[in-house]
Structure 1
Amino acid sequence: MVKKAENIIVGISIGDLNGIGSEIILKTFEDIRMLELCTPVIFANVKIISFVKKHLESTLALHGIDRLDQIVIGKINVINVWQEGVEINFGANDEKAGKYAIKSFVAATKALKEGLIDVLVTAPINKYNIQSEGFKFPGHTDYLDQELEGNALMMMVQDNLRVGLMTDHIPINEVSSNLTEELIIKKIDTIKQSLIQDFSINKPKIAVLGLNPHCGDGGVIGNEDDTILKPTLKKIFEKGTLVFGPYAADGFFGSQQYDKYDAIIATYHDQGLIPFKTLSFGNGVNYTAGLNKIRTSPDHGTAYDIAGKGKADYNSFKEAVYLALDIFNSRNQYAEISEKPLKTKEK
């Protein structure tokens, strides 16, 4: 059954309490029309959000709840993940902020797994202060990959520009050893399926960037492009996937070749994110493709330098909400079409 727009429950993890997460969340829902598109549930504590609201002189009305069966459609719900008071020190990097960021995120992920919320949008965390005995993950994506079914792939999205990552949060000196035929096939399969079911692109065209400068120049600057990428992409193409490359990364974006493809896969983090963030003008979204549930986030960090000053740009977070809703609807349509039997002509 297709949900009405306002009945789509958007779970929101609060992120680092000392960063700009609370501010961009509140600013996003100051436009009351957002409540016609979804019902937000902020995983935090209503006293904390009220404190930030007062600090920012926001007039938003909040609805505090202790259980998810108390959600009121059309209200900005805040579920009390914890009861104790927490001191906020805007701009400070401390372990307490990381502890509560993870409490919020873990609770929201559990609700997502159990189907109590429809999509998850995560506010920025600090990857350093979240580390603990109970949480040893580089970030959101790795935890979601463990908790949710599928193969997580980090994809940056802004309108028709989609950049996926073959490898993400690993040191640069480990990229080459991680580029195996198995990984390449898995990541391309994941992004292809996401383009079909999440973005309604029936026959997607995918470009892959080379690892080395000029794709190795025939082995002069490394041989991974010739020995690993090219033969693997050829094998995938011959099985019917429209995958092309590897392309030299430096000229690919400068010549606007990216306009010809439904998605681009970069071999490592900065190769993809630097051009993406340059082209997306602060409106990009980080989407975790390949999972059985939907999670998006803004494409920026905690921004400690402007936290609490009312200066944070909320556009990326708002776009993250929009994208989560679009993908939710696309997946529903895909599921509906997939379940319908093909009509045959009567003899």
Structure 2
Amino acid sequence: MKKSENIVVGISIGDLNGIGGEIVLKTFEDSRVLDFCTPVIFASAKAMNFFKSHFKSEINFNITNNLNQIVHGKVNVFNSWSEPVNIEFGNEDLKIGAYAIKSLQSATKALKHGDIDVLVTAPINKHNIQSKDFKFPGHTDYLAQQLEGESLMFMVTDDLRVGLLTDHVPVKDVVNHITEDLIINKINTVYNSLKVDFNIVRPRIAVLGINPHTGDNGVIGNEDDTVLRPTLKKLKEEGKLVYGPYAADSFFGSNNYKSFDAVVASYHDQGLIPFKTLSFGQGVNFTAGLNKVRTSPDHGTAYEIAGKGVADESSFKEAVFTAIHIFRNRNEYEELTANPLKKSSKKI
């Protein structure tokens, strides 16, 4: 297993007109972060030096065209393109969206090849990244295609983890997507992630209902009774500690979530509104279920404050440390699985 200070954290720069460049610089201006990882920013020397000058950063980059030449203890910049880019903070620009994708594709290639250990993605604009060559709703869907495994949007903090049965799906289509197979796959992904990525031996998972009041015995829809409850029963019979469905409207306000290691919501806003209300600025978006580790902050491009020097880097910094933590937990799990006696020797 790698020592923590040697973990190579790849960073896709996101939308250059947003706050990505600023929060990346602010994160690594704290030199103590370099004691835990070696960052590699996938952008260009010209773009990063523009950010450095604009935000008056004192970071000295190691610029490279070769990932074999990254320097530990330095903030590395890998040239994913060489031409100058016109950066205009706060503007939505299709050309800038194309560079966000260049960065993401370059970083993903490095992740697949093992040149970096984990990937942390700065925010993109889901509209200006669309093109004839890139037709994904966002990072998660693209990475699910590129990497092995069953992807799941998993929003995490130290004391709250929220997974989703459906993520970027229109509300009118949610019910049609929620099938027995989907429920089993998503909850198994959450369960395995809690064990492998978060070192929780016997995970307890709460599942929120599909309809208000979980359908009120069919008065407000019958999907909770016909699809969700029977599927949860099957998972319980396998020995998994899965509970619910719970009425979503009171679940978080009553602090019920504190009794569980994770909560699985039926759709995007049902899970993310309470998550961001309780933890905004500290939350991390983790793509669970893939064979590589990817995290991101829990916010977007924030065009309205881009370039002003007032962006809060807390969530991005948390994303970096969460990626490191999960990478180490996965390595430890693999070691213990390969050598189960090592676990018992630790307890002596």
TM-score, normalised by the number of residues in structure 2? 0.97
Aligned residues: 342
Q: What is the aligned partner in structure 1 of residue 312 from structure 2? A: 313
For 1:7 and 1:157, the matched residues in 2 are separated by: 24
Cα deviations across residues 250-293 of structure 1 (Å, max 9, x unaligned)?
11001000000000000000000000000003110000000000
Aligned AA (1:135): F
SS at match of 2:288: strand
Cα deviations across residues 116-172 of structure 1 (Å, max 9, x unaligned)?
100000000000000011111000000110010000000000112000000000100
Is 1:182 the counterpart of 2:185? The answer is no
Q: What is the aligned partner in structure 1 of residue 234 from structure 2? A: 235
SS at match of 2:2: coil
What's the CA shift for 1:341? 4.8
Q: Which runs of 4+ in 1 moved over 6 A?
A: none
Q: What is the aligned partner in structure 1 of residue 83 from structure 2? A: 84
Aligned AA (1:303): A
Aligned AA (1:297): S
SS at match of 2:162: strand
Cα deviations across residues 72-98 of structure 1 (Å, max 9, x unaligned)?
111000010001000100000010110
Cα deviations across residues 184-224 of structure 1 (Å, max 9, x unaligned)?
00001101000000000011000000011100100000000
Is 1:13 the counterpart of 2:6? The answer is no
SS at match of 2:169: coil
For 2:136 and 2:77, the matched residues in 1 are separated by: 26
Is 1:302 the counterpart of 2:331? The answer is no
Contact 2:195 2:202 in 1 (8 A): yes
Q: What is the aligned partner in structure 2 of residue 276 from structure 1? A: 275
For 2:317 and 2:243, the matched residues in 1 are separated by: 33
Q: What is the aligned partner in structure 1 of residue 160 from structure 2? A: 161
* 1:252-267 alignment runs, 5 A limit: 252-267=251-266
Aligned AA (2:53): K
For 1:197 and 1:276, the matched residues in 2 are separated by: 22
SS at match of 1:313: coil
Aligned AA (2:72): I
Is 1:194 the counterpart of 2:188? The answer is no
Aligned AA (2:315): S
Cα deviations across residues 298-338 of structure 1 (Å, max 9, x unaligned)?
00000000000001000000000010000011001000000
For 1:265 and 1:47, the matched residues in 2 are separated by: 43
SS at match of 2:53: helix
SS at match of 1:3: coil
What's the CA shift for 1:5? 1.7
Aligned AA (2:209): G
Q: What is the aligned partner in structure 2 of residue 49 from structure 1? A: 48
Aligned AA (1:284): G
Q: What is the aligned partner in structure 1 of residue 221 from structure 2? A: 222
Aligned AA (1:150): G
Contact 2:5 2:38 in 1 (8 A): yes
For 1:228 and 1:180, the matched residues in 2 are separated by: 7
Q: What is the aligned partner in structure 1 of residue 61 from structure 2? A: 62
For 2:96 and 2:83, the matched residues in 1 are separated by: 13
For 1:259 and 1:325, the matched residues in 2 are separated by: 25
Q: What is the aligned partner in structure 1 of residue 150 from structure 2? A: 151
Aligned AA (1:154): M
For 1:301 and 1:44, the matched residues in 2 are separated by: 18
Cα deviations across residues 19-73 of structure 1 (Å, max 9, x unaligned)?
0000000000010001100000000001111111110111111110011011011
TM-score, normalised by the number of residues in structure 1? 0.98
SS at match of 1:23: helix
Q: What is the aligned partner in structure 2 of residue 30 from structure 1? A: 29
SS at match of 2:252: helix
Contact 2:9 2:37 in 1 (8 A): yes
SS at match of 1:59: coil
Is 1:205 the counterpart of 2:193? The answer is no
SS at match of 2:168: coil
Aligned AA (2:247): A
SS at match of 2:319: helix
Q: What is the aligned partner in structure 2 of residue 72 from structure 1? A: 71
RMSD (Å) for aligned C-alpha atoms:
0.8
For 1:14 and 1:99, the matched residues in 2 are separated by: 12
For 1:254 and 1:82, the matched residues in 2 are separated by: 48
Identity of aligned residues (%): 66
Aligned AA (1:261): F
For 1:280 and 1:92, the matched residues in 2 are separated by: 28
